[in-house]
Structures are given as structure tokens and as C-alpha cells.
Amino acid sequence: MFPLWMTHGAARSAAAAALVFLSIRSAPVPAQGTFAPPEITSAPSSPLDLPDAELARRVEIDPSSLGSLSIGAPSSGILLHPVALTSGPGWELVYPEAAWTTAETAAFVETAVAKVHEIFPDTSPLYIGDVSLPGGGRLKRHETHHVGRDVDFGFYYRGGKGYWFAPGTAANLDLARNWAFVRALLLWTDVETILLDARLQRLLYDHALKLGEDRDWLDRIFEFRGRSRNPLVRHYVGHRTHFHVRFYNRQAQELGRRAYPFLVQFQKIKPPVFTVPHLVRAGETLGHLAGRYGTSVRAIQQANGLASTLIRAGRTIRIPFKGAAAPPAKPFAFPLRPLPPRTPSAFASVDWPTPLGLYGEELAKLARSPSLLGLGFRRAGA
């Protein structure tokens, strides 16, 4: 059992995957130390079921009763009522001061790491780098990590050696454990994206094929194959040293969206500064941009960590808007998990989710319909 988190207060004192979307009334967080797949419909006591009037009352009286809230976008938002990851047998924290997250993300971390240890009991701890600051917002080393849904995971290396930020290669990576970890993330958690260098994607892809994974499924997962409009594992410069995983948080995101106006109304939070991206064109200066967007040069500098007023054409910078309504007006919709059509024999000794177990008989039938074949599910025996 891995010790996972403390509350913020306690720490201070001590294609279905692409085309079919679930209702926001969705899965509760898996219990610590278990691998029970979530169900679609929340229990009647779920905060997601609260009518607006009751939600407003809770915000006014005790907003912490709503649990973790992820408000805004990964590159422009805040984190309320976070929990802190703590080091344990399954992982070591590199930056404990930046290891704050939502309860859902924390549970996903435990679930994925524990699945690797279930398959390979003698696995050494994995390094975890940046997550978020206690209140979210800008983390100097990143453009994202604002809202408690981004986690930087190190790799598993050959010989059980642990490193942080060591570039992965065919010679030093433990491909078996790294693929088991990625598979666990995809099937046992709600992954929005995994950022990983294309060279390492190829290594994992080839290893998964040798194990017996379905080629069509892998082609839809990995961007380097160029065969999916919405691959989950994407190339991004600077990600040869770690997995950058962004999770969906069905409760923290939707509840944050709904609670945000009440939080501001009852002055539980100051109207936060959200940002929008701007692609700098030739001849533009910070002064021009400040005037155009109704902000200040200093505010733009702070939002982007700029020490000077010099900017170059072609760079995307964040323009701050104080009090802007960052959360969308419409409820979030989340994709189904991309379940493969089969499980290789190397992983057959442990449990993996099924459409029926995750989504119930009705959606399992829908997922087997001809129009959805190849998008995340296959007919049995296909």
C-alpha cells in the first residue's frame, strides 16, 4: 500500500475514445489501494448532483465540502482544496513543494503505479517531478501545471536504477515496465494526453507490438504513426526525459466550473487572473499588446516570467485578464477510455477494465456497433 496524499490543511499543520462522450455525471475517484473501475452514474450524494441553489449554499458556508476544484485551463487557472502527494514505496517526489493536486489525480497516480507493481513486484520507485503549487497557478518551469491535472513522471530504467530527468534511450529504458505504466494510465485512469518524445514513442510501440498488442489500437494511441486525428500519446519538444501526463478530472473540473461564479460572488476567492494565448507578430511590443488587451506590460511580464520587455516574433505568450470567466459555460464532456480489443499474455495475470465493467451493458452494446468499430472497441473475436 502506498501512502498517497494529505489534505492541504493537514500538510500545513503536518473511437469511442474520440467520438463518444459521457455525461459529466460520472465516475467517482477509485478508493485508495484498489483497482475498481469507475461507474458512469454518480451516487445520489455526489456533489455533481447538487442543484445550483444547494451548491451556492455550500460555497457560502463551507466550500471545502466540495473537495478539490480544478478551475480554468492547464495553462491558465487555479487549484482549490488540493491534496499533497507524499513519497512512498511506489514513487519518490523530486519537488514536494510542487506536488499538490486534486483527489482524482492523486488516485490516478496511485492506481497506475500500483498496477506496474502488481505486474512486476520487484519494481523500484518511480520519480515524480512537478505537479502543481498549493493554489495552482503559474509554475516557473512550465507553461501548464496550473490546475492540478498535470503530472511529470520519470521513466523506469534497466537494472532497477532510479534517475530523474535522464534522457531515455533504447539502451537504458526498461521498456516492459514503461509500457505497463502507459497501458495502466490509458486503461485505468482518465488520460487527456501524454506528452512524450517521438523517438521514445517508437520504442514503446515496437515493444507493445512484440508483446501482442493490437496494431490498429496502437496506431490510434501514438501520434508518431500519423494515423489518428486524436492520439493520446503526443510528441512535444523536451519530453525525452519524462512522461508529462494530463488527466481529466470529471468531478473537480465540472464542479469547479459550476462553483466558480459562486466562489467569486461570496468572496471565497479573488477574481483570478486568467490568460489567453497570443502569437507575437513582427513589430509587436509588450506596450502594444498591453494597450490592445487592456492590461499592463508588468502583468504580461509576470504571466510569462519575462525578465525584460523584449519579445520575438513567432513566440506565443500569455495575456492576462483579471477576473475573466475562465471556465466554459457548458458542462464538460469526457471521452470513453480507449480500451484495446485484447490483452497480451504478459499482462493476462492481472485485471484490466472492460466496456461492460466500465460503462454498463448499454454502452457496451453501443461500443460493439459497426459504426464504432476501430474507434476504441472491437467485436469479440474480431
**Whole-angstrom distance, CA of residue 199 vs CA of residue 211:** 19
Amino acid at 310: L
Strand partners, 335: 21
**pLDDT (mean) for 304-322:** 86
What is the per-residue pLDDT for 1? 40
**Cα 210 to the chain's mean position, in Å?**
28
Query: For 201, left (φ over 0), alpha (ψ -120 to 50), or beta?
Result: alpha
Which stretch of 48-62, 207-221, 274-288 has the lowest confidence by average pLDDT? 274-288
What is the per-residue pLDDT for 34? 39
**Whole-angstrom distance, CA of residue 249 vs CA of residue 80:** 13
Cell of 81: 482544496
**Whole-angstrom distance, CA of residue 78 vs CA of residue 124:** 33
pLDDT at 12 over 70: no
The highest-level CATH class for domain 273-322 is alpha beta
What is the per-residue pLDDT for 367? 58
**Whole-angstrom distance, CA of residue 69 vs CA of residue 251:** 8
CA distances from 167 to 109, 163, 173 (A): 22, 9, 9
Cell of 354: 472492460
What is the per-residue pLDDT for 321? 72
**Whole-angstrom distance, CA of residue 338 vs CA of residue 248:** 14
CB of 8 within 8 A of CB of 132?
no
What is the per-residue pLDDT for 267? 93
pLDDT tens, 115-163? 999 999 999 999 999 999 999 988 888 889 999 999 999 999 999 888 8
Cell of 339: 480500451
Share of the chain above pLDDT 90, in %: 63
SS3 139: coil
**pLDDT (mean) for 270-278:** 78
pLDDT tens, 166-198? 999 999 999 999 999 999 999 999 999 999 999
Beta strands at 243-247 and 233-234: parallel, antiparallel or unpaired: unpaired
Which stretch of 115-124, 246-255, 279-288 has the lowest confidence by average pLDDT? 279-288
What is the per-residue pLDDT for 13? 36
Residue 364 pLDDT grade (very low, low, confident, very high; cuts 50, 70, 90): low
What is the per-residue pLDDT for 18? 29
Q: Is the dihedral angle over the CA atoms 209, 214, 216, 221 positive or is it negative?
A: negative
Q: Domain residue spans in the chain?
A: 5-251+333-372, 273-322
Residue 294 pLDDT grade (very low, low, confident, very high; cuts 50, 70, 90): confident
CB of 296 within 8 A of CB of 320?
no
Fold of 5-251+333-372: Muramoyl-pentapeptide Carboxypeptidase; domain 2 (3.30.1380)
pLDDT tens, 24-53? 333 333 344 433 433 333 334 689 999 999
What is the per-residue pLDDT for 270? 82
How many Cα neighbours within 13 Å face the side chain of 79? 32
